[in-house]
């Protein structure tokens, strides 16, 4: 074992303020030298210091993340983020993402038909058209901030429609609250609000909208997720108001930011790899499938999720004790040299690409993966068809250990 050449203090805020290059070097070191590593309690703005006492295991190898994601030895109901969070807040906002069997299966069962292949095929044409319209709307301006004007605007339109938010003012509120939900460490929000309130306030705004709309959909059914939620049953079980609100909050967070980051990070990746971009555009329809998988591997939108051990478990030569927290670093697993040849190389033609962007498999595997992929493809198709000479300016970044957080990405093109 070599001596530590890099700082691997992933539990600190300082780690997440370092450059991406430094962070990725730290994960590489951990994969090679201490793949199941123990860390002190994570820096937290959410918990009182005297209650913030739980250290955690960091899994950085692809195989370990997959193994633990699929194992019943780990649960989600005690928290899904590296930082602990008051349980009531978690329950109000994270729905079945933070549930275990059998509750998880019941809740997921109620909604999963709405994400099935038939529904996705129906939505695909409409997603393409909407992406076309959004980019066409930007085109005459000759410039935009791609984070706000595309990465937030397009998923905001698509998912609001999917969920059942049709009013433009309400949609803007949902998109803003979804952004706020995962940003309790971001000074942009904490300048004005207690960190726990950043999260709780966003959850409250989204819950109120969900309940208002659910009531409306009971009287006036539509062709959307909320109508589905108030009507659907699984094994004789329906969602109550509290469960509908919590699901709506989780879905708003799970869909908007993830896809928004995937879109802007992919454009950034293509612009900084012109030879890869050229390869893709020689046969866009034939190659976009593998390209999207590689773009999601390369800049995985969700940095980590967490579980808690419900029994002792041996992995990577270490024994995780019942009650220990375990953090899955997807960003690290996606660069694991044992799985990906030359992982630091963006290779859109990569044939085998079992990346972890949608999780490591198992019961929580991303329910919206088909929708996310479809939207990412549609956005790239429209951007490069309608804005072929796009030029990027300097991006600015926020601070988060949960999402890749580009805050602004100026772009210009010829009108």
Q: Name the residues that contact ligand HEM, by CB under 6 A.
A: 69, 96-97, 108, 159, 251, 254-255, 258-259, 262, 301-302, 305, 357-360, 362-368, 371-372
- For the bound state, the minimum distance from the C-beta of residue 290 to ligand HEM, rounded and expressed in Å, comes to 16
Nearest distance, CB of residue 77 and ligand HEM, angstroms: 11
Tell me how far apart the alpha carbons of residues 129 and 136 are, in angstroms, rounded to a whole number: 10
7 or 232: CB nearest ligand HEM: 232
**Minimum CB–partner distance for residue 62 and ligand HEM (Å):** 14
Angle subtended by helix axes 153-163 and 168-181, to nearest 10: 110
- Asked if the peptide bond before residue 199 counts as cis, ω within 30 degrees of 0, the response is no
- In the bound state, the residue with its beta carbon closest to ligand HEM is 368
Exposure pattern of 186-207 as b/e (b: 16+ CB <10 Å)?
beebbeeeebbebbbbbbbbbb
CA distance 273 to 257: 24
Between 29 and 93, CB nearer to ligand HEM: 93
Give least dist CB 44 to ligand HEM, A.
21
Cβ proximity to ligand HEM, 10 vs 249, nearer residue: 249
**Complex with ligand HEM: residue 29 or 83, whichever CB lies closer:** 83
Are the C-beta atoms of residues 68 and 74 closer than 8 Å to each other?
A: yes
Burial of 254 (0-12, 13-18, 19+ CB in 10 A): buried
Nearest approach in angstroms of CB 155 to ligand HEM is: 7
Q: Between 151 and 368, name the residue whose CB sits nearer to ligand HEM.
A: 368
Q: Which two tokens stand for residue 266?
A: 């992919």
Specify the residue, 29 or 313, whose C-beta has the smaller distance to ligand HEM. 313
Task: Extract the tokens encoding 334.
Answer: 């996606």
Which one, 182 or 368, has the nearer CB to ligand HEM?
Answer: 368
Closest contact distance (angstroms) between CB of 50 and ligand HEM is: 30
Angle at 62 between CA 342 and CA 261, to 5 degrees: 75
- Spatial contact of 255 and 368, defined as CB atoms under 8 Å apart: yes
In angstroms, the CA 89 to CA 84 distance is 11
| Burial class of 273 by CB neighbour count within 10 A (0 to 12, 13 to 18, 19+) | middle
Q: Provide the minimum distance between the beta carbon of 56 and ligand HEM in the complex, in angstroms, as a whole number.
A: 16
364/377 with CB nearer ligand HEM? 364
* 93: its two tokens: 């906002």
The least distance separating ligand HEM from the CB of residue 48, rounded to whole angstroms, comes to 27
């Amino acid at each position: 074992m070599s001596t530590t050449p890099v700082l691997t203090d992933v539990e600190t805020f300082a780690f997440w303020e370092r450059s991406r290059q430094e962070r990725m070097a730290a994960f590489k070191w951990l994969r090679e030298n201490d793949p199941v590593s123990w860390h002190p309690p994570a820096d937290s703005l959410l918990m009182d210091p005297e209650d913030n006492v739980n250290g955690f295991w960091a899994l950085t190898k692809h195989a370990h993340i997959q193994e633990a994601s699929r194992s019943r030895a780990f649960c989600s109901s005690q928290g899904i983020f590296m930082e602990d969070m008051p349980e009531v807040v978690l329950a109000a906002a994270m729905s079945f993402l933070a549930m275990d069997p059998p509750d998880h299966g019941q809740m997921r069962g109620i909604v999963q038909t709405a994400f099935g292949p038939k529904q996705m095929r129906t939505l695909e044409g409409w997603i393409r058209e909407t992406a076309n319209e959004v980019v066409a709307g930007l085109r005459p301006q000759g410039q935009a901030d791609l984070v706000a004007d595309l990465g937030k605007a397009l998923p905001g339109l698509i998912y609001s429609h999917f969920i059942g938010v049709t009013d433009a003012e309400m949609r803007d509120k949902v998109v803003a609250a979804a952004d706020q939900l995962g940003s309790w460490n971001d000074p942009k929000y904490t300048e004005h609000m207690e960190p726990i309130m950043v999260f709780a306030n966003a959850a409250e705004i989204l819950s109120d909208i969900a309940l208002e709309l659910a009531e409306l959909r009971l009287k006036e059914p539509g062709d959307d997720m909320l109508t589905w939620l108030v009507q659907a049953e699984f094994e004789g079980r329906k969602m109550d108001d509290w469960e509908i609100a919590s699901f709506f909050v989780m879905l708003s967070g799970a869909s908007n930011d993830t896809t928004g980051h995937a879109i802007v990070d992919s454009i950034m990746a293509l612009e900084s790899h012109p030879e890869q971009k050229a390869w893709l555009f020689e046969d866009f329809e034939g190659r976009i499938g593998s390209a999207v998988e590689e773009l999601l591997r390369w800049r995985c939108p969700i940095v980590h999720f967490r579980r808690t051990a419900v029994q002792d478990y041996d992995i990577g030569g270490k024994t995780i004790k019942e009650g220990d927290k375990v953090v899955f670093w997807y960003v690290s697993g996606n660069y694991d040299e044992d799985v990906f040849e030359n992982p630091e190389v963006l290779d859109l033609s990569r044939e085998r690409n079992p990346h972890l962007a949608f999780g490591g498999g198992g019961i929580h595997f991303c329910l919206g993966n088909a929708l996310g992929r479809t939207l990412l493809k549609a956005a790239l198709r429209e951007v490069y068809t309608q804005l072929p000479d796009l030029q990027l300016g300097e991006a600015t970044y926020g601070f988060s250990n949960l999402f890749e957080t580009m805050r602004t990405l100026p772009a210009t093109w010829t009108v």
